[in-house]
Amino acid sequence: MVFMFLNGDGMRGGRAHYTIEGVPLLGERRTAPLYRFFSVRDEFPALYPVAEGGQPVLGELYDVPMGPLSALLATEPPELELSIIELEDGELSFAMVLRQAEHVLGIHKDITSYGGWHAYRAAAVSEGPDKRRTRL
């Protein structure tokens, strides 16, 4: 089993959560302040490691057996890749991060200020698309 930090559709209530349904949830966690957080096509989030200007991002930490991990990874979009991240308490975990080739395109919205995917999605509903576009 491996620790897997999820911050998008793999979390409880997300479209990909079915792949890890029933695996041990260790609880909500935040990343160390070493990442920026992006929305890719407003379809899914992406962590990206940075040397400076990072902030903690909220997600869920799971202890995932290899079978469910493989199923979960099969649902991940091509813009992301498996990596190791640092959590707020210094613990390391697997997570999906934005590929560098995607990041250099400069086309993904920086949503770091929201602190997490659920907060960003909630703001999208309450603010509407026009206000959200100007805030970012």
Instruction: Name residues whose C-beta falls within 8 Å of residue 76's C-beta, 6 or more positions apart in sequence.
Output: 16, 82, 96
Residue 130: the pLDDT is 55
Residue 132: the pLDDT is 46
Which residues in the chain come in under a pLDDT of 70? 127-136
| CA pair distance 125, 91, nearest whole angstrom | 33
Which residue in this structure is represented by tokens 């609880």? 27
Q: In 3D, which of 136, 114, 132 has the Cα closest to residue 59? A: 114
What are the strands, taking DSSP E only, across the chain? 2-6, 25-30, 35-40, 44-49, 58-64, 80-86, 92-98, 109-110
CB count, 10 Å around CB of 98? 23
| Contact in structure between 7 and 112 (CB atoms under 8 Å) | no
Residue 129: the pLDDT is 56
pTM comes to: 0.89
| Domains of the chain (ranges, CATH numbers) | 2-135 (3.10.490.10)
